[in-house]
Structure 1
């Protein structure tokens, strides 16, 4: 126990008989402790003699009610896992909402391409598009021709185009040879 608490316990007769004797012996040896006890006795005597406020109990009741009506502190020492659980739930809901609302609207892959598991058509040729050709420009040319990119670009920049029919292949071959601003060369 600290010194101040011992002094208060001594003045309020809350010490056992053995502790009281030990405290009085300590006061007899330590003059500063005896002086502190003397000061505390005089303060207690003056407070007891002072007139009591006529509505002291009402004031205390009003203060007590005000303190109890306050909301709990923001740092109420909740376990941190509860906050993490909230963040995880928000993340799961966001991913689920994305999958349900956005992904179906994203549409199919752009035309003119095939998946790796798809078998290419039998009618093919290779094309090297100019370096500045964009995917949009290439798709705009291949769409009406009925061509599908089935392989490439290779290390040399060659792209293999496939067609469902020989007639479509021949028409596309002639059409792409005339596209000098987009096609660098066509290899049969």
Structure 2
């Protein structure tokens, strides 16, 4: 029995005592349900106050028969193409999840590849490049200085740049501070 049927049966005193008690508990917990019941009771009271039509019972019977839900057919004859498309979508999602979640874990690291974080040493600068800076410009600036991006960008746009020694770091600090066109901030870490 859906919510509207319960409200109607409650207002018309058709609910068994245990269902009526459970419904009243639900009304006390749900203000929206309580207000719907109050509206239905006020409508019912207003209809009782009106003079009764000669064939009002026949009108009500016809109206209630028309709002009774239609039974669902046992076989709705859905298109087999829709079922095939549903299976294809599930298979596609499974393959994509496999590619994203499993393949990176089981595939080895290619020969000659070393993550930049492995070479990260004690000589690090925090750099904020401008939004207009391109990767080529950043690479052209950091390459001759011996800088390697070892982490980032962070949520604030900071990038960690590692150097092999203190001398390279100091040279990079001067060079980065002179390039205000693509570098917004440089902080020694």
TM-score when normalising by structure 1: 0.39
TM-score when normalising by structure 2: 0.38
* Greater Rg by CA: 1
